[in-house]
Structure formats: structure tokens, C-alpha cells
Structure 1
Amino acid sequence: MKIFIMRHGEAEHFAASDADRALTDSGRSASISVAKACAEKGFAKFDKVLVSPYLRAQQTWQTISKVFVSDNVERCDDITPYGQSPHVFDFVNALIEVEKHESVLIVSHLPLVSYLTAEFATDIVPPMFPTSGLACVEFDAQTQSGSLLWHLHN
């Protein structure tokens, strides 16, 4: 199965709170470019999409949903910048086991995206994620191991 992990697009530097920071025009454009590059690799439909409740992640999903398709999109309060990668890893594994997903997209933040990629791709150190960065991990739920297939960014 494939796990796709994406960092939100570039966001404004200032807002009433960190959770309220909106995407910039550049963030929207870069996110669309990365989504199109992923679609060109043959991946545009996801069994499950988990999106952080923070505005910039929600807006990233709204933007890339012009390219990506999913009938199963869920806001996930555990994937904020303060999310704990072991906890999210266990949660996603439970979803995979119960709901039998073959592809999951997670739209989240640093540092979680880096640590989570290393949880699924067991042979790497946490990678750097630029804004709008997207990693694809081939993951075997039976053996709980995986490898990084590719990492896109604008």
C-alpha cells in the first residue's frame, strides 16, 4: 500500500494564531504543481485523506482537491504541528487494518511530516520537507515496514 505525506503550502507569517495562518498565492500555486506532478506519476485518487484542522492545511487540501480525488476526507486533530508521530502512525495503521485502505494521503505540518515519514519508511532518517513537499512511501502493514519511493517539491 502507499502512504502519501504532504506538508501544507506556504502560509502567511502572521495571523491571530498559528492555527489561523492562511495560504499565500505562492503556496496555492506550489501545492497545485506538486499535486499535478504526483498525478503524472499515476497517483491522484486516495482511499482516505486526513487533513489537519489548521487553516493552511485545510486550504492546501481545498486547492489540491482540484487535482486529487477522494470520497473519504477527514479532519484529524492529531496531525497538527504538535502531533506525535508514533501516535499518528498507530492511528493510520488501525485505519488501514479496519478500513482496508490501499492509499492514504496525510496533509499536515512540520515537524510531524518529517517524523511520520520516517515512521513509515523504516530505512531513513526524518527528511526535510519544504512547504508543499510530498513524500510517497511503499508500506507493508503486515511487517510494519516501508521505504520511501519518492519525494516531490516545487
Structure 2
Amino acid sequence: MKIVIMRHGEAEHFAASDAERSLTAHGRTTSYSVAQRCVANGISQFDKVFVSPYLRAQQTWLEIAPLFHAKQVEECDDITPYGDSETVVEYIQAKIELENLKTVLLVSHLPLVGYLTADFVTGIMPPMFPTSGLVCIDYDTDARRGELVWNINP
């Protein structure tokens, strides 16, 4: 199965709260460009998309959604910047098994995206993600470990 993890696009520096920071025009453009390259690499359909409730992640998903066919989209409070990677990995693994998911996309934040990648792909350090950065993991649900297939940076 494939797990794709994407960091939201570039966001404004200031807002009433961190959760309310909006994407910049550059963030919209680079997110779309990275998503186009994901499609060019052969991934254009997702059984389930998990999106952080933070505005910049929601806007990133709305920007890239026209490029993908998503069967289900779920807002996931656990994938905010301060989410616990182990909890999220357990949750995603349970969803994969219960719903027989074959392709999953998570639209989230630093530092969580790096920790998730390291938890799904054993033996690597958490990578740094630029804004709009995206990785694809080939994940073996039985062994509960994956291999980093490719990453796309703007």
C-alpha cells in the first residue's frame, strides 16, 4: 500500500492564532505543482485523505484536491503540528486494516510530518520537509514498516 505525507504550503507568518494562518499565493502555487508531480509519478487516487483542521492544511488540500480522486476525506485533529506521531501511526494503521485502504494521503505540518515518515519507514532519521514537500512510502501492513519510494520538493 502507499502512504503519501505532505506538508502544507507556505503560510502567512501572522494570524490571530497558529491554527488560523492562511496560505500565501506562493504556497498555493507550489502545493499544486508538487501535487502535479505526484500524479506524474503515478499516484492520483486515494482511498482516504486525512487533513489537519488548521486553515493552511485545509487550504492546501482544497488547492490540490482537483488533481486527485479521493474516495473519503477526514479532518483529523491528531495531525496538527503538535500531534503525537506514535498515536497517529497507530490510528492510521487501524484505519488501513478496518477500511482495507490501499492509498492514503496525510496533509499535515512540521515537525509531525518528519516524525511520521520516520515511524512509517524504520531506520531513518525524521526528514525535514520544506513547505509543500511530499513523500511517498510503500508500506507493508503485515510487517508494519515501509520504504521511502520518492520525495518531491517544490
CA contact (8 A) 1:123 1:146 kept: no
Report percent identity of matched pairs. 60
2:67 maps to 67
CA-to-partner distance for each residue in 1:35-79, whole Å, 9 max, x for gaps? 000000110110000000000000000000021120200000000
> Unaligned 5+ residue runs, structure 1?
none
Mark the runs of 5 or more structure 2 residues left unpaired by the alignment.
none
1:18 aligns with 2:18: yes
TM-score when normalising by structure 2: 0.99
Matched, 1:55 2:55: yes
- 1:8, CA displacement in angstroms? 0.1
SS of residue matched to 1:104: strand
The one-letter amino acid of 1:149's match is V
Instruction: Tell whether the 8 Å contact from 1:123 to 1:147 is kept in structure 2 after alignment.
Output: no
**Aligned equivalents of 2:32 and 2:82: distance in 1?**
25
CA RMSD of aligned residues (A): 0.5
Quick one: distance in 1 between partners of 2:109 and 2:69?
Answer: 21
Q: How does 1:4-153 map to 2 (within 5 A)?
A: 4-153=4-153
The number of residue pairs the alignment matches comes to 154
**2:2 matched residue in structure 1:** 2
Deviations 1:92-137 (A, max 9, x none): 0000000000000000000000000011111311111000000000
Structure 1 stretches of 4+ with a deviation exceeding 3 A read none
Letter matched to residue 68 of structure 2: F
Q: Distance in 2 between matches of 1:37 and 1:124?
A: 24
Amino acid at match of 1:82: Y
- Please give the alpha-carbon distance, in whole angstroms, between the structure 2 residues aligned to 1:47 and 1:108: 17
How far, CA to CA, are the matches of 1:64 and 1:86 in structure 2?
27
Separation in structure 2 between the aligned mates of residue 60 and residue 40 of structure 1, nearest angstrom: 19
Could you tell me how far apart the structure 1 residues matched to 2:111 and 2:69 are?
Answer: 26
